[in-house]
Structures are given as C-alpha cells and as structure tokens.
C-alpha cells in the first residue's frame, strides 16, 4: 500500500510548540511506524463503522510492516531502505565495519561479551563523510550480500524539509498580532534535483506500508499534524523475496548480519532478551543514537510513556547454533526476513523492528 502526502507532512519531534512569538514546530526526518499504524487503523476502523475506544482491542490487532520509502520511476515504484550503519565513508571510499576481536589480555565494557566493530585497516583515520540516508533496494541488497571496500552507493536523502512561516495581521493596524507569528516544518515528498531549475524537485516519493492481513485503505485521508492530506491507495513495491545467495551463505557460515529497516524496541536497551534473535546470538552491534518515542494512547486516553528505540539502519552480527540443520536455518530466515522483531507484541503490530538479513563470515577481524 502507498501513501502519498499531498501537502508537506508534519510529524512532530515532541519538542514544545507553544503560542510564544517565534515558536517553531519541527518534524522528524521520517515518520515513526506508530504514526502510520495509527492513521491506517483510524481510517480502516471508520470505514468499517467501528467505535472508539470501544473497539480499540480489535483495531490494535491490525498489524502493519513499515513504513519504508518508495520513489516513482519509469518502471514503477522503487523501494528504498535506510542506510545500514555498518557502512562508513572515508574520503571518496565506502568501507564495511565488522566485529573486532581484542588482543589477549584486553577487553571492553560492552555488555554480554559483545565485540566492538571496527574498520579492517586501523590506519584509516579520516573523518567519516556523508552517505545517502536511503538506498535503492537493489543497491541495498548488494550490500547485504557483499559488503566490500569501494562499494558504490546509489540512493538519496529522502523527504525534503520545508519550512512555512505563519502570521496573523491586525486589519486595523496592518501589524502582526501578538503570539501569532510561528513556523512549521514539514516533509516534502519530492526528490530534490539540482538539474530541475524551475521547481527544484523531480520525481515523487511515497510511504510504503504492508498491512499484515492485506487489507488496504483507499482515498484521501489526513495524516500527521494539522490534518494535512495524503492519497492512500493499494499497489507499490511488494515485500522482497529472500535471495537464494543469502540462504546459501547462512547455511555455510552459520552466521548473519541483521539490519533493522524500522526502529525497534528491546527490553535490553539495544538488545533483545538474553541477546538472542529467535535463537541466534548477537556477537557485535553497530547501533545509532536512540530515538525518543512517545505518543497518545487512544484506549487509555492519555500520553504514552516516553521510551527509547533502536534506530533504523542498526546492524547486528549474529551466530546461529551449529547444531541447527538446513531446515532449522531456513525456518529461522523465514522468521526474520521482513518480520517485526521488537520484544513486545503490540510494538510488533505497530511496525517496530522490521528486519532484513545480510552475509557475515562469522569470523571477527584480528587485532593488528
């Protein structure tokens, strides 16, 4: 299912927005899963004639996967994935990060005996450069299958921030009213193109959401702050299939990289309980800064507790049990690939913890 914001989309970051002069409403760089899950459930519930909050339990049971980003191209909509955090750009070259085994007698303060992640060559000490925030799926999948030095990234930075200044004038004096000057920052779902001199924008962008039961929402409905409108319609990119090369590599190495495509909540801060993902043990992790998440509890009628989420793009290096046979490995892959992995069931229903898998040899780098 595709959601195309008609106007710039406002997804507030939680900072205070009062009526003081010069107030600014800032947006997150990308909507949280619960924003899309809530909007989807609201529209579907109204279409089915359900009452709120009486039918809240039923509405909350409608699970979703996503959102991810899509760009309109000549052959249809192209899926994009968030930048994996095990990719680092130094100068003009992209390098992969990998677990590093400390020398004998050395250690770290990482929990559960996790290994640090590092570059293969310790002489590389440049300041990391920018990489596109979103990678085209074909390019992202190549990184999953073969992360190597000199990898060529193909992607873009996603929705473009758009700032609007609002003012209310006193008709008798022609001056601004006290407390009526403010700004709102939204997200313009268009690709910014330098060669497009007239508008500054090129192709269209949209949000991709996959309802777990396959029921789509159609029409023009509000989304985000200020009830700005978006087109909701079926279609768009399908969930990618598991590459057979990936399955073969996992069967051979009994190890994998797990990449979060949406933020996730885990009981152990940035690790699930006991540091295991459906039986596979985390050896190392490349994790970004936590996202502070809250919201409104429709059923309880009050704000949700503030929590910290693991950001999208975080990468976990996992080892699978050696005792597993081919059937167990394939079953594990099916339980991870494009499944929501957060610890709590409702977080999974809300779209938190969508994951993909990549190749890892299972052998940490040696200290040198």
Q: What pLDDT digit, counting tens, does each position of 194-208 carry?
A: 554 555 556 899 999
Structural domains present in the chain:
2-80+157-233 (no CATH), 104-130+241-366 (2.60.40.4350)
Lowest mean pLDDT among 21-30, 90-99, 126-135: 21-30
Predicted local distance difference test score (pLDDT) of residue 274: 85
Q: What is the dihedral of CA 268, 82, 85, 10, to 10 degrees?
A: -70
Give which of 124, 107, 123, 105 is closest to 115, Cα–Cα: 107
Residues linked to residue 160 through DSSP beta bridges, in sequence order? 188
Token pair for residue 328? 């167990």
SS3 270: coil
Distance CA 109, CA 111 (A): 6
Q: How do residues 274-293 score in pLDDT, each as one tens digit?
A: 899 999 999 999 999 999 99
Q: Is the pLDDT of residue 356 over 60?
A: yes
Q: Is 269 exposed, middle or buried (0-12, 13-18, 19+ CB in 10 A)?
A: exposed
Q: Which pLDDT value is given to residue 195? A: 53
User: Quick one: average pLDDT of 232-239?
Assistant: 96
Q: For residue 211, name the pLDDT band (cuts at 50, 70, 90).
A: very high
Upstream peptide bond of 348 is cis (omega within 30 degrees of 0): no
**What pLDDT does residue 194 have?**
58
Tens digits of residue pLDDT in 304-330: 899 999 999 999 999 999 999 999 999
Give the residue, 333 or 111, on which the prediction is more confident.
333
Helix axes 326-336, 244-253, angle to 10 degrees: 130
């Amino acid at each position: 299912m595709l959601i195309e914001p008609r106007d710039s989309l406002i997804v507030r970051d939680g900072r205070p927005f009062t009526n003081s002069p010069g107030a600014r409403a800032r947006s997150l760089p990308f909507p949280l899963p619960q924003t899309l899950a809530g909007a989807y459930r609201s529209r579907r519930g109204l279409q089915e004639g359900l009452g709120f909050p009486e039918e809240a339990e039923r509405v909350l049971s409608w699970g979703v996967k996503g959102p991810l980003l899509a760009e309109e191209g000549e052959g249809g909509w192209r899926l994009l994935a968030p930048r994996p955090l095990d990719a680092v750009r130094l100068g003009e070259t992209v390098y992969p990060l990998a677990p590093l085994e400390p020398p004998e007698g050395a250690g770290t303060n990482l929990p559960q005996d996790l290994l640090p992640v590092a570059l293969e060559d310790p002489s590389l000490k440049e300041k990391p450069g920018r990489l596109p925030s979103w990678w085209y799926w074909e390019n992202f999948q190549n990184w999953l299958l073969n992360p190597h030095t000199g990898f060529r990234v193909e992607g873009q930075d996603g929705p473009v921030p758009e700032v609007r200044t609002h003012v209310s004038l006193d008709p008798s004096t022609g001056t601004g009213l006290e407390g009526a000057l403010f700004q709102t920052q939204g997200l313009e779902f268009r690709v910014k193109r330098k060669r497009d001199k007239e508008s500054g924008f090129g192709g269209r962008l949209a949000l991709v959401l996959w309802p777990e039961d396959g029921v789509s929402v159609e029409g023009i409905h509000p989304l985000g702050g200020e009830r700005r409108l978006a087109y909701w319609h079926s279609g768009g990119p399908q969930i990618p299939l598991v590459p057979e090369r990936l399955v073969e590599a996992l069967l051979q190495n009994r190890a994998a990289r797990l990449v979060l495509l949406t933020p996730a909540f885990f009981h152990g801060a940035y690790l699930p309980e006991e540091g295991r993902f459906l039986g596979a043990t985390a050896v190392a992790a490349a994790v970004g800064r936590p996202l502070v998440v809250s919201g409104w509890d429709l059923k309880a009628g009050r704000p949700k507790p503030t929590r910290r989420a693991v950001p999208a793009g975080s990468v976990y290096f996992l080892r699978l049990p050696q005792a597993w046979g081919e059937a167990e490995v394939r079953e594990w892959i099916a339980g991870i690939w494009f499944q929501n992995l957060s610890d709590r069931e409702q977080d999974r229903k809300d779209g938190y913890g969508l994951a993909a898998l990549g190749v890892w040899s299972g052998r940490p780098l040696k200290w040198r």
